Amino acid sequence: MTTPSFSDEELRTAIARELPGVRADLERLARIPGIAFEGFDFTPLERSAEAVAELLRGLGLQTQIARIGDGHPAVIGVKPAPPGAPTVLLYAHHDVQPVGDLSRWESDPFEPVERDGRLYGRGCADDKAGIMAHVAALRAFGCGTADDRVPVGVVVFVEGEEEFGSASLPDLLEAHKDTLSSDVIVIADSGNWDIGVPALTTSLRGIVNLFVEVKVLKQAVHSGMAGGATPDALMTIARLLATLHDDNGDVAVDGLVSTSAAPLDYPEDRFREETGILDGVELIGTGRIVERLWTKPAISVLAIDAPPTAGAPNAVIPTAKAKISVRLAPGDDRRRAYATLKAHLEKHAPWGARVTVSFEHDGDPIVIEATGPAYDAARSAFKAAWDGTEPVDIGVGGSIPFIATFKEAFPDAAVLVTGVEDPFSKAHGPNESLHLGEFEKVCLAEAMLLRNVAAL
């Protein structure tokens, strides 16, 4: 065991020194609209990969842009470990979500701007700040300078298509397995529990998206002539969808897994404020809110294909189709869950309607057993960076299937899921933003984590 060569105070000073440069680089990255969704111009992704590569080269890392087939560019930067020291893989992604409805943004999504201590812009949090937290931690140790004292081996891996499903990730990990092999993996793509309260993400729900189509007639018929004796497809699908929940709003599909969450209280008024639920509208489901969000299944109807109301004729419509998204609790299995859902929908077909269920996309839930030296090293780093506040273990209601991909590719590595987001970051939404004060703590915690891991 080597003695950490940097004190908390030294790292605090070093991060404060690096922060203005880190902020400027973050803004530079956030001006590049790299979106991996179909139908977008992909040239900005090339520019954003190149900008990340330039940052890594600036740290003296052996840097390459890697891709599989016509997949989008990932960036890999490597710094060999000092003798006897462990190697840490630092993950983030440089692609961003589309901006959606521009009129809902208060400022240009690709021109970062500070308001009230937050930096607004698409990717300012998710996940360009994740990239910059890695860069900041390395700069704090003088990485790439004459006085380079980075205490661990480092592999920085910045993916270019996370928001569009990480299609090439398994093959990228396989193709670069030796380069990426490491003892600890830090995935900076999640967030903290609250402003001032750090967190390690230890569970994520899985996902199954599917379509259900109902057919009741060979073709549309006159609603006056046939209505009253003929079911219409919209009423039929509405009744079918209604069987997915009970009157409390709990999922009513037998056979989906539910488990319990960490003893955290998520006050209802905070949840209401963060989500914007209208006054008077009730929350659905029963039990603690963290369990409803993290460790129980959830079912949402995302879309229905039906005639538009404008110009709809007086006709009984023959078919309707809905897209359903199911979030799976940790411990559930995506294939079994799809079979369970399919059986439920077929069994509950109202009025003998023909029901066809088809699969869209899925991902398994994940539980990380967050015990052992690497997790202790992370918790003590977080506590020090947040001035004595203990980190909490949180779940995430969303799904990051690629974490399972990392766990499968590197089964012996400790996987730490961290991140820059806070409850007000609005990642994926309009007016995404980064809390700059918290970001400094995230950078500091990561520097302390590297130091602590070196001493294991």
Query: Which positions are annotated as active-site residues?
Result: 95, 162
Nearest to Zn ion of 4, 398 (CB atom): 398
- Contacting range for Zn ion; rule: CB under 5 A; set: 43-51, 121-129, 242-250, 349-357: 121-129
Least distance in angstroms from the C-beta of 129 to Zn ion: 10
Using rule CB under 5 A, residue 364 touches Zn ion:
no
3-class DSSP assignment, residue 378 = helix
Which of positions 183-242 make contact with Zn ion (CB under 5 A)?
189
Measuring CA to CA, how many Å separate 360 from each of 15, 47, 227, 253?
44, 31, 33, 19
Number of H helices, E strands in the chain: 13, 18
Task: Give the span between the Cα atoms of 118 and 428, in whole angstroms.
Answer: 16
Using rule CB under 5 A, residue 446 touches Zn ion:
no
Q: Tell me, by CB under 5 A, how many residues bind Zn ion.
A: 3
- Contacting range for Zn ion; rule: CB under 5 A; set: 104-112, 120-128, 151-159, 262-270: 120-128
Which of positions 29-58 make contact with Zn ion (CB under 5 A)?
none
Report the C-alpha dihedral over residues 271, 273, 275, 276, rounded to 10 degrees: 140
Task: Give the span between the Cα atoms of 77 and 135, in whole angstroms.
Answer: 11
Task: Give the span between the Cα atoms of 254 and 413, in whole angstroms.
Answer: 36
Q: Can you give the length of the chain in residues?
A: 456
Least distance in angstroms from the C-beta of 380 to Zn ion: 26
Task: Give the span between the Cα atoms of 370 and 391, in whole angstroms.
Answer: 12
Are 419 and 203 a contacting pair, CB within 8 Å? no
- With a CB cutoff of 8 Å and minimum separation 6, the contacts of 347 are none
Neighbours of 283 (CB within 10 A): 13
Least distance in angstroms from the C-beta of 97 to Zn ion: 8
Using rule CB under 5 A, residue 127 touches Zn ion:
yes
Are 415 and 185 a contacting pair, CB within 8 Å? yes
Least distance in angstroms from the C-beta of 127 to Zn ion: 4
Are 210 and 359 a contacting pair, CB within 8 Å? yes
Least distance in angstroms from the C-beta of 128 to Zn ion: 10
Tell me which amino acid residue 96 is: V
Least distance in angstroms from the C-beta of 34 to Zn ion: 13
- Contacting range for Zn ion; rule: CB under 5 A; set: 54-62, 81-89, 126-134, 401-409: 126-134
Nearest to Zn ion of 170, 350 (CB atom): 170
Using rule CB under 5 A, residue 432 touches Zn ion:
no
- Contacting range for Zn ion; rule: CB under 5 A; set: 122-130, 176-184, 326-334, 432-440: 122-130
**Tokens at residue 355, please?**
């029901």
**127 cis-preceded (ω within 30 degrees of 0):** yes
Nearest to Zn ion of 122, 327 (CB atom): 122
Report the C-alpha dihedral over residues 341, 347, 349, 351, rounded to 10 degrees: -170
Tell me which amino acid residue 12 is: R
Nearest to Zn ion of 126, 332 (CB atom): 126
Least distance in angstroms from the C-beta of 55 to Zn ion: 18
3-class DSSP assignment, residue 56 = helix
- Contacting range for Zn ion; rule: CB under 5 A; set: 127-135, 148-156, 208-216, 436-444: 127-135
Using rule CB under 5 A, residue 126 touches Zn ion:
yes
Nearest to Zn ion of 123, 285 (CB atom): 123
Nearest to Zn ion of 99, 241 (CB atom): 99
Task: Report the interface residues with Zn ion, using CB under 5 A.
Answer: 126-127, 189
